[in-house]
Amino acid sequence: MVHSVIVPNPWAKEERLVLQQQQQDHRLHELGDFLRTRRARLTPEDVGLPRGSRRKTPGLRRAEVAQMVGVSVDWYTWLEQGRSITPSTQVLERLVQTLRLDANERTHLFLLAGAFAGNRDRESSVTTFP
């Protein structure tokens, strides 16, 4: 009878941590991309702001989103850049309202942010706008 001996890999924990960090970095990058695309699809008029002048890019400016969400422009910029920050559930919900996300987009936002989306019923998770 042959007995095999399992020798623990001394690098396994380190490799696992590196993999987890890479996955988190990818998720945060995806979060930034998601927020940028949703911001770009809205016009100032869509959210009740004046158009203003000299817009170089389509959609809302970061400063406009940050103001409506109630966070600093720097913090929102870091979020879009995929920096390792953790938005609260309240901030995520304000992003849902500001960016006019539907129920599927809300769930996706919460997953990308590493937050639990909750078990809201279908009717309450649908965002309505005036």
Q: Is 126 exposed, middle or buried (0-12, 13-18, 19+ CB in 10 A)?
A: exposed
Q: What is the pLDDT of residue 8?
A: 72
Query: What average pLDDT is seen over the chain?
Result: 83
Q: What is the pLDDT of residues 30-46, one digit of tens each?
A: 999 999 999 999 998 89
Q: Are 84 and 26 in contact (CB under 8 A)?
A: no
The mean pLDDT value for 71-76 works out to: 96
Q: How many other CB atoms are found less than 10 A from the CB of residue 71?
A: 19
Confidence tier at 125 by pLDDT (50, 70, 90):
very low
Q: What is the pLDDT of residue 22?
A: 81
Domains of the chain in sequence order: 17-50+59-125 (1.10.260.40)
Q: What is the pLDDT of residue 35?
A: 97
Q: What is the pLDDT of residues 83-123, one digit of tens each?
A: 888 899 999 999 999 999 999 999 999 999 988 755 444 33
pTM here is 0.74
